[in-house]
Amino acid sequence: MKKTIIAITIILIVATSILLISPKMTGKTINQEKFLFTKAICDENNYCKDYKIECENGMPSKITPTGFAIQKPKNWIDKRNNSKYYCD
């Protein structure tokens, strides 16, 4: 019983410390010039790979594969906006 109480006390102390020390999120931390999103990019065989695209000042600054992919049927038509410029 004492071990359980000690363990719970330690967990509460650590959790409280993390909450008090971590920086607070405010609207001031959001920068509209930098953002990231994921997008599936498909080839001519409808094999689509997922990428993390980081944008800065309207241009891709980094494109990283996430490791996820899907094979769509041959007759599948991608109806999404397939702009060459991912950060529009």
DSSP string, 34-57: EEEEEEEEE-TT-EEEEEEEEEET
- pTM, to two decimals: 0.55
Would you say residue 48 has pLDDT above 70? yes
Helix/strand/coil for 1: coil
Query: Span 14-29, mean pLDDT?
Result: 61
Query: Span 70-76, mean pLDDT?
Result: 92
pLDDT at 68: 94
pLDDT at 86: 73
**What are the residue ranges spanned by the domains of the chain?**
2-71
pLDDT at 23: 57
